[in-house]
Structure 1
Amino acid sequence: MLAGESHLWGRRALEFVDAADRLDAPSLVRQFESHIASAGFSAYIMAALPAPGAGLAELTLANGWPRGWFELYVGRNYMAVDPVPRHGAATVQPFEWSDAPYDRKRDRAAHQVMTDAAEFGLVRGYCIPLHYDDGGAMISMAGEAPDLDPTAKGAMQLIGVYAHNRLRSLNRPKPQRRLLTSRECEILSWAAQGKTAWEISMILRIAERTVKFHLIEASRKLNAVNRTAAVAKALSLGLIRL
């Protein structure tokens, strides 16, 4: 890859990162698809890693696979034997599809997945595994002859991670302010500023035991183990602000 091309990929990735948080889901997906297409990737999928009892459709965050391939993949339950997500669950490093280990002779089902994928133009692929505290996911993209230069792959990783995280955030259920009462939000707001229950009771001119009751109720509703956790969760959900 020429130095100019390397610089171009870096600029594209940074421009996407800068814009991602301001884009809605359709705009984000269009830009993501445009960027990966520039690198020769004609198809992709963003999905949670395989989980017992969960089908691919319900695990999928964004689907850019050919329709026929997706239907075949689901219909034949290829998720159970596909070496790519299997390897993605075991590593934190991005990898090319060809690096996902399997024995062609002993693991014929895995080899069949890769053979069938190639018939849909998914000859060479790149997978970006993501691991969160509450589970894992992967961004898998492929094409007939994509650019797998290290610089291009680095750009795809950055673009993919930001696209996935933004879509994940947009798809997260929006908090309902009714989750907490106005009084509970008010008390948590003061708690977030470091005020004790007694100090809050003086500020709001209510009994200290009433303040403690509301803190306990707010913690219960937020499924938080204590007051500090309740404050942190309320802040992250946008229920209160500092």
Structure 2
Amino acid sequence: MHRFCAPDLMNVNHLLALLDRSGYLIADDCDGTARMPDMITMAMTDIDLPRGGDFASEIARLETQFDIIRYMRRITQIFGFKTFLICSIPAVEVERLSATTVISNMPAELLNKYDSLSMLRFSTGVRRLRETTTPFQILLEDWEKEGGKPDAAADYFAMLRENGLLQANYFPVHDAEGGRGAVILMGPEAGLPMTAAMELQMIAIHVYNRLAEIGSVWKNTNTVLSEREIQCLNWTAAGKTSSEIAGILGLSEHTVNHYLNHVTKKLDAVNRTQAVVKAMKKGYIS
């Protein structure tokens, strides 16, 4: 531990003003001098600690789309967000965000409302994604102030507020073929430290690359399965009945049947068994 007396260098207050953001300088309670911890043994503050762990090796071990959904749910929570969406960047002529969505745990009613109002045409985030390759964030109140949107957009903004989605952070990515995409995290309004933003950008790059490797990005993006649909398929593959799945997921049997019937149609399958087989081949479930 190195000690610096105020008369030898400068007063403690000035040192604190210069260095207090780095976390390295602390004041000695007994004599007012400042002491500088050894850089090697200095503990990082919570705000600087890597939160995603050894993400590169963990992401490389993910085998299916559902594995990645579970991983992204955890990352979303760790960094203080509420929901995520990973998509390829929509072409100008595309009108529905769901058509380019790869995976998401965004509430289905929000995505459906977004598409029904053609909000993609008014998306500040998507417009900026077409113009930049660096991460950025957009506040709901700023987007709301922009003109040109239909009056009904107010209903969508109200739904976002009800779900606590007041801010969206965008992380541009691309695959090995050059196709551009984005990992979008949404949640309450909060400043994201630079260290966290840098880590999330690296996580986004690795996740999108892994999605491409297992074929989820290059498959037909019109076939987008919700998290619940994937869960129902997984339990069906495990031999569970609709009644048993309902008990496991805390849903009604009617709701489970609705999810399974819907996903069977999405996968162009004749029955649930074929839907499970197709889902396995496409990497939705293992």
TM-score relative to the length of structure 1: 0.60
By percentage of residues, which structure has more helix?
A: 1
Residues 48 and 109 from structure 1, CA distance in 2 versus in 1: closer, same or farther, beyond 3 angstroms? farther
CA distance in 1 between counterparts of 2:148 and 2:162 reads 19
Q: Distance in 1 between matches of 2:199 and 2:190?
A: 13
Q: 2:137 aligns with which of 96, 100, 104?
A: 96
DSSP-derived class of the 1:24 partner:
coil
Separation in structure 1 between the aligned mates of residue 62 and residue 134 of structure 2, nearest angstrom: 27
C-alpha deviation, 1:56, in angstroms: 2.3
Shift of 1:14: 5.3
- SS of alignment partner, residue 214 of structure 2: helix
Q: Deviations over 1:86-120 (max 9, x none)?
A: 11111011001149x87935444598566653343
Q: Identify the residue that residue 78 of structure 2 maps to in structure 1.
A: 38
For the residue of structure 2 that corresponds to 1:125, the secondary structure is: strand
Tell me how far apart the structure 1 counterparts of residues 69 and 211 of structure 2 sit (CA, whole Å): 9
| Equivalent residues in 2 for 1:1-242, closer than 5 Å | 3-6=44-47, 8-9=49-50, 12-13=51-52, 15-25=54-64, 26-51=66-91, 52-53=93-94, 55-98=96-139, 104=145, 106-108=147-149, 117-131=160-174, 134-146=178-190, 148-171=192-215
Report the aligned-residue RMSD.
3.1
* 1:159 Cα deviation from its structure 2 partner: 1.2
- Give the 3 Å change call, closer, same or farther, for CA 89–7 of structure 1 in structure 2: same
Q: In structure 1, the residue corresponding to 2:106 is in which secondary structure?
A: coil
Kindly provide the amino acid, as one letter, of the partner of residue 77 in structure 1.
S
Kindly provide the CA deviation profile for residues 30-67 of structure 1, in whole angstroms up to 9, marking residues without a partner as x. Answer: 12220221111111111111122463223111112122
Q: Percent identity?
A: 20
The one-letter code of the counterpart of 1:91 is T
Instruction: State the distance in 2 between where 1:153 and 1:53 align.
Output: 29
User: Secondary structure of 2:181's partner?
Assistant: strand
Give the 3 Å change call, closer, same or farther, for CA 4–40 of structure 1 in structure 2: same
Preserved contact between residue 124 and residue 143 of structure 2 (Cα < 8 Å): yes
Cα distance, 1:129–1:152 mapped onto 2, change above 3 Å: same
Q: Structure 2: which 5+ runs fail to align?
A: 1-20, 24-43, 220-286
Task: Measure the CA separation in 1 of the matches of 2:205 and 2:59.
Answer: 11
Please give the secondary structure, in 1, of the residue aligned with 2:164: coil
TM-score in terms of structure 2 length:
0.52
Q: Aligned partners of 2:134 and 2:80: how far apart in 1? A: 21
Structure 1 letter corresponding to 2:80? G
Of 106-115 and 147-156, more deviation after overlay is shown by 106-115
Q: Deviations over 1:187-230 (max 9, x none)?
A: xxxxxxxxxxxxxxxxxxxxxxxxxxxxxxxxxxxxxxxxxxxx
* Letter in structure 1 aligned against 2:59: A
Partners of 1:13 and 1:158 within 8 A in 2: no
Measured at CA, do residues 60 and 104 of structure 1 come closer, stay the same or move farther in structure 2, by a change above 3 Å? same
Question: Given that residues 61 and 168 in structure 1 are in contact (C-alpha distance below 8 angstroms), is that contact kept between their aligned partners in structure 2?
Answer: no
Shift of 1:13: 3.6
Report the AA paired with residue 117 of structure 1: L
**C-alpha distance in 1 between matches for 2:48 and 2:94:** 44
Between the two proteins, the alignment pairs up a number of residues equal to 172
In the alignment, residue 129 of structure 2 is paired with which amino acid?
G
CA contact (8 A) 2:133 2:172 kept: yes
Structure 1 unmatched ranges of 5 or more = 175-242
Partner Cα separation in structure 2 for residue 82 and residue 65 of structure 1 = 17
